[in-house]
Amino acid sequence: MKKILLLLAGAALLAGAALVKPLPEVKTVKVNERVYALLGPTELPNAHNGGYMVNSTLIIGDKGAILVDTGFSDEVGAHIRKAAEKLTRLPITHVVNTHHHGDHSLGNVVFPGAEIISSENCKKLMIDTGAEWIAIGESMTGRKLPNTKVVTASRTYASQTRTPAEINGVKIEFWVPEGAHTKGDMLMWLPDDKVLIGGDVLVNTVTPGFRDAEVKQWVQTLAEVQQYPARTIIPGHGPLMTLQQAKQLHQQMAAFYAGVEKVYKSGGSEEDVRKQVSLKEWQKLKHFDEQMGGNINRTWLQVEAENF
Full set of structural domains in the chain with CATH = 20-242 (3.60.15.10)
Distance (Å, whole) CA 227 – CA 225: 5
Q: Identity (one letter) of the amino acid at 226?
A: Q
If you average pLDDT over residues 159-186, what whole number do you get?
98
Strand partners, 174: 163, 188
Specify whether the CB–CB gap between 170 and 143 falls below 8 A. Answer: no
Q: Which residues contact 154 (CB under 8 A, 6 or more apart)?
A: 115, 116, 117
Under 8 Å between Cβ of 222 and 249: yes
Give the C-alpha separation, 196 to 125, whole Å: 24
Percent pLDDT > 70 in the chain is 94
Sign of the Cα pseudo-torsion (98, 104, 108, 113, in order) = negative
What was the pLDDT predicted at 8?
41
Q: What is the pLDDT of residue 21?
A: 79
- Specify the 3-state DSSP secondary structure of 192: coil
**pLDDT single digits (tens) 189-247:** 999 999 999 999 999 999 999 999 999 999 999 999 999 999 999 999 999 999 999 99
Q: What is the pLDDT of residues 112-126, one digit of tens each?
A: 999 999 999 999 999
The string of DSSP codes covering 125-180 is: HHHHHHHHHHHHHHHHH----TT------SEEE-TTEEEEEEETTEEEEEEE-S-S
pLDDT at 19: 55
pLDDT at 308: 83
Q: Residue 20: which pLDDT band, with cuts at 50, 70 and 90? A: low
Please indicate, yes or no, whether the overall pTM of this predicted structure exceeds 0.85: yes
User: 243 burial class (0-12, 13-18, 19+ CB within 10 angstroms)?
Assistant: middle
Mean residue pLDDT of the chain comes to: 94
With b for 16 or more beta-carbon neighbours within 10 A and e for fewer, the 107-121 pattern comes to: bbbbbeebebbbbbb
Strands (E), the chain: 27-30, 35-39, 56-60, 65-68, 92-96, 115-119, 155-157, 161-167, 170-176, 187-190, 195-203, 232-237
Three-class DSSP category at 189: strand
The residues pairing with 119 across neighbouring beta strands, listed in sequence order, are 157
Between helix 243-265 and helix 215-225 the angle, nearest 10°, is 150
Write out pLDDT tens, residues 246-294. Answer: 999 999 999 999 999 999 999 999 999 999 999 999 999 999 999 999 9
Of the chain, the end-to-end C-alpha distance in Å amounts to 75
